[in-house]
Amino acid sequence: MRDQPDLFSVQQEDSADGLQHISPFIAPVAATAGAVTNDPVALRIAEAIRDVFGDSGSENGLSRAEIAQACVSVASVEEFDARFHVFTKLQLLEPLRQKAHDQRYVFNPTSGAALLVYERLGEAGGVHEITMLLDRTREGILNGSLTEADLAAKIAKVRRSLANYTNHLLRLVRTRPIEELFGQRHHHAHAASIQEAKHVVRAIAERYPALRPADTRLIQEALRYTAAVQEFHDRLMRQATTRRDFSMLLPEQYLTAARRAPVDALASVFAATVFDPPRVDITVGQVLTAAADHQPPPPRQRLPRPPARPPGPDPVETARARAARARERREAAVTLLMGGRAEADLTEELRALPWRTAVRHVVDLLRVAADPDLPFMLHISRQVMVDPSGPVTYASPMAVYRLPDGPQDMHDHDDDSESTPADPS
């Protein structure tokens, strides 16, 4: 007895040869109507060749005999010989050293990429390519690599592609037998294009207001495609209800119904079903523990992109340069007060200045002495000198010293120690 699929097994209703989607894919660049083979063995030989080169792990290529041996399980010798000639002519297989009589061949990775595309077309149709184009467009907007003209062209390309898929889907739903819809249900199991279109439109509206009419048309076409998908699923649902054949529905459709359908609609499915008396074999705590152990991981969130730095000078470097100029000014002011001496008592000089100027010099002296990059030391006595009639009413004796830079300066400083002024205190 054949195995019967359960309700949640994903069945592939597409034709068995796997080539029904390749002819339309090759049509834009085909030389003749017979350019694409209808023999499924050709695709299996190409996949076997790709696999053997991928498993060899050698950059020195493979001989024809090694390639033929890898294809024994999928094709006869005659079939391999015929395809080998085609593959070398179309450069799926290339001579290792690009010589006419080279006996070793390498696999062209472009052909490997084409095989991946064929597999994706068979599994999810071409709508996935539109979603990828929308995603790349949004990235180009965010990183600034697309001009306004580029964006307008991409929006038009996406809108037209969506329109073509919508028209095709509506023709299937409204004019074709239900059997043809079965093979298409995997291609339209979800409508992620509408979400990607919303992201792109939001990004464009923030930066290119002139493209808003094109954005509106894109959203309208995405909504039209979503409505066509809904009509497609509605027809499948009606057929499943009529035949009582729920294997036609995808697991995702069961999940959507469980989350969004009203309780009465869900209950009506089992209105005529006979059940055994309910029996609880597990506790609520066990259910909660199992749900916590098997819950999916939280979705990963991409960190926001750092804001673009405004044009102009770097504010940090500007602040550093301003601080360096202030340090040079203070050092020059203190050097001028010291008159080129290594040590100087500045008490009388400061008392003779206007009090505002004297305060400014005292502040410069304090900041210079506190700066570890400047070679000055300040000594302030605890004594207070009062002169009610002078420019500075009261002040403390103050002396400043220039620290030596090296041993030679220290020696010179010792030789001049006789001229060192006495401690102001």
- Residue 4 has a pLDDT of 37
167 and 236 in a single domain? The answer is: yes
Q: β-strands 343-345, 398-402: how paired?
A: antiparallel
133 and 95 in a single domain? The answer is: no
150 and 270 in a single domain? The answer is: yes
Are the C-beta atoms of 152 and 218 separated by less than 8 Å?
A: no
Which CATH number goes with the domain that contains 44? 1.10.10
- Residue 24 has a pLDDT of 67
97 and 206 in a single domain? The answer is: no
Are the C-beta atoms of 225 and 191 separated by less than 8 Å?
A: yes
Number of independent structural domains in the chain:
3
Q: What are the tens digits of pLDDT across the range 230-251?
A: 887 777 777 666 655 555 566 6
Listed residues 256, 274, 292: the one ending a domain = 274
Listed residues 68, 98, 117: the one ending a domain = 117
Between CA 113 and CA 51 the distance in angstroms is 13
227 and 108 in a single domain? The answer is: no
Asked if residue 9 belongs to a domain, the reply is: no
- pLDDT tens string, the chain, 425 residues long: the values are 334 333 333 344 444 445 666 666 666 656 666 667 777 888 888 888 888 888 876 778 888 888 899 899 988 989 888 888 888 888 888 887 766 666 788 888 887 777 777 776 665 566 667 777 777 787 887 787 888 888 888 888 888 877 877 887 788 778 777 666 665 655 554 455 566 677 777 777 777 788 888 878 877 888 888 888 888 777 777 766 665 555 556 666 677 777 788 888 778 777 777 777 767 678 888 888 888 888 888 888 888 887 777 777 888 888 999 988 988 888 888 888 888 788 888 888 888 888 888 888 888 888 888 888 888 888 988 888 888 888 888 888 989 888 876 544 544 544 544 444 444 44
264 and 359 in a single domain? The answer is: no
176 and 225 in a single domain? The answer is: yes
Asked if residue 171 belongs to a domain, the reply is: yes
Asked if residue 16 belongs to a domain, the reply is: no
Asked if residue 323 belongs to a domain, the reply is: no
Asked if residue 146 belongs to a domain, the reply is: yes
407 and 344 in a single domain? The answer is: yes
138 and 260 in a single domain? The answer is: yes
Between CA 309 and CA 11 the distance in angstroms is 52
95 and 215 in a single domain? The answer is: no
Residue type, position 318, single letter: T
Asked if residue 186 belongs to a domain, the reply is: yes
The residues, any chain, with a CB within 8 Å of residue 228's CB and separated by 6 or more, are 166, 169, 170, 173
Between CA 210 and CA 202 the distance in angstroms is 13
Range of the domain at 105: 22-117
Asked if residue 190 belongs to a domain, the reply is: yes
- Residue 263 has a pLDDT of 84
- Residue 240 has a pLDDT of 63
- Residue 100 has a pLDDT of 62
Listed residues 274, 309, 327: the one ending a domain = 274
Asked if residue 76 belongs to a domain, the reply is: yes
Residue that the structure tokens 């939280």 belong to: 298
94 and 169 in a single domain? The answer is: no
Strand order in the sheet with 93-95: 62-63, 104-107, 93-95
58 and 153 in a single domain? The answer is: no
